[in-house]
Amino acid sequence: MKPQLFQAERIEGPPRLIKIRFEKDAPVKELIPQLEAFCAAHLREHEANLIVDMSNIPYPTNNFIACLIAQAFRARQLKGDLVLENPPISVRDNLITFSALNYLGLSVSARGTQVFPAYQEPSAPAEEDFDATALVEIAESPLLHRLSIEPKPESAPKPPKPGYVPEADMPSFSTRAESAAAKLYQLCDFVVGLAKQAGMKEKEIGKIRIAVYEACLNVIEHAYHSKPDNWIDLTVQYSGHRFIIIIKDTGLSSDLKPAQDYDVQEAVNARKTGGFGMHIIRRAVDHMEYFPSEVHGNRLVLSKNLD
C-alpha cells in the first residue's frame, strides 16, 4: 500500500473546513490520484470547503493545476470552495502561465478550422483578444501555444553568432517587463502602438502581435523556466520600409529548429504541441534570427517589411 502523500485536518466551523498539507517533495504523479480519491470520498454538502497548503509544491505541473481546478469545481457545486494557502511566488507564476489552450486538445470540424483565442488573463479587456483572421492565416489549423525551441545539447556545442547590432539610422523605442504571463499584453500593446505609428496594415499588426506573444511566452517558459524575478527587454526600430522587433532575455539560450514544412493537422492528431509557436512566428514575419549569448543576453530579432 502506497503511503499517504498529504495530511488532512478537519477544522470545525462554521463553516467546516478540510485543510490539506502535502508532504515535502511528494511525487506529483502519485499525489494526483490520492487527492482525487480523497476529495471524492470526503467532499459532501456542508463539508465542501477546502484549504490547500501549497508551500511544499512550489512548481505545480499542468496536470496538478487541472486537478485543483476540478476539485474547486466539485466543491463549488456543493456550495463550498477551494482556497490555496501559502503559495510561493513560483506557484502563482505557474498558475498565471497555465493555459487551457495548452492543456486541452483541439480538433478540426467538418466545416473548417476551429480557431480559439489565445489565453488571456481575466483582468484584460475583451477588446484585447487576438484577431481571429490573423490566427487563421498564420496557423492554417488549430493553434496550440508551444514553441519548438529545445535546449542545446551539451555534447555538440555550436560556435556563437556575433551579437546583434541595432540599425544606427533608425529611431529606437524600448520597454521592459517582468517575465510573467500577466505582463505579456503589456509587451504586445507596446509593439502594436508603434506598428500603427509606422503605418503597418491592420491585418499585419494582428500577425505581429501574435508573434510577440508567442516569442515572449517562450522566453518565460523556456529561457526562465517560469521562474519569477527576471526581465524581458523589448526594442522596436522602424523606418519607411522595415519594422524590427528585438526581444532580449538573460536566461538559458536555445537552438532554433530550422524552418520546415509543418503538418499542423498531423500534429493535432498526434497531440504534439511542439512546433506550433515557431511555425506561427515564422509565418508572421519576413525574417527571424536568434543571437544567443551568455555574456550579453539572448536576442530574438523579428523583421517585417512595410512596403
- What is the structure's pLDDT at 151? 37
Q: Is residue 178 part of a domain?
A: yes
Residue 283's CB: how many other CB atoms inside 10 A?
16
Confidence of residue 84 (pLDDT cuts 50, 70, 90): very high
**62 and 134 fall within a common domain:** no
Task: State the average pLDDT over residues 87-101.
Answer: 75
Q: Is residue 112 part of a domain?
A: no
**154 and 50 fall within a common domain:** no
- Looking at residue 44, which CATH number applies to its domain? 3.30.750.24
Confidence of residue 7 (pLDDT cuts 50, 70, 90): very high
8-66 pLDDT, tens digit each = 999 887 778 999 999 988 888 899 999 999 999 988 877 789 999 999 988 888 889 99
Task: Tell me if the bond preceding 14 is cis, omega within 30° of 0.
Answer: yes
**127 and 207 fall within a common domain:** yes
Q: Is residue 148 part of a domain?
A: yes
List b or e across 157-176, with b for residues whose CB sees 16 or more CB atoms inside 10 angstroms. eeeeeeebeeeeeeeeeeee
**162 and 282 fall within a common domain:** yes
144-200 pLDDT, tens digit each = 333 333 333 434 444 445 556 666 678 889 999 999 888 898 999 999 999 999 999
Choosing from 40, 67, 87, the residue where a domain stops is: 87
DSSP track, 148-191: -EEEPPTTS--PPPPPP---TTS-EEEEEEESSGGGHHHHHHHH
**253 and 184 fall within a common domain:** yes
The separation between the first and the last C-alpha atoms of the chain, rounded to the nearest angstrom, is 69
**63 and 184 fall within a common domain:** no
Domain that holds residue 289: 119-305
- What is the structure's pLDDT at 45? 72
110-152 pLDDT, tens digit each = 444 444 444 333 333 333 445 545 544 544 433 333 333 333 3
How many structural domains compose the chain? 2
Q: Is residue 283 part of a domain?
A: yes
- Residue 95 has, within 13 A of its CA and on its CB side, a CA count of 14
Q: Is residue 107 part of a domain?
A: no
Q: Is the pLDDT reported for residue 266 higher than 60? A: no
212-264 pLDDT, tens digit each = 999 999 899 889 988 878 999 999 999 889 999 999 999 998 776 555 554 44
Strand order in the sheet with 6-11: 6-11, 17-22, 49-53, 81-85
- What is the structure's pLDDT at 256? 67
* Alpha-carbon gap, residue 226 to 95, rounded angstroms: 10
- Looking at residue 206, which CATH number applies to its domain? 3.30.565.10
Q: Is residue 248 part of a domain?
A: yes
* Alpha-carbon gap, residue 253 to 218, rounded angstroms: 11
- What is the structure's pLDDT at 276? 60
**129 and 221 fall within a common domain:** yes
Q: Is residue 94 part of a domain?
A: no
Q: Is residue 114 part of a domain?
A: no
Task: State the average pLDDT over residues 275-300.
Answer: 85
- What is the structure's pLDDT at 163? 58
User: φ, ψ for residue 148 (rounded to 5)?
Assistant: -95, 60
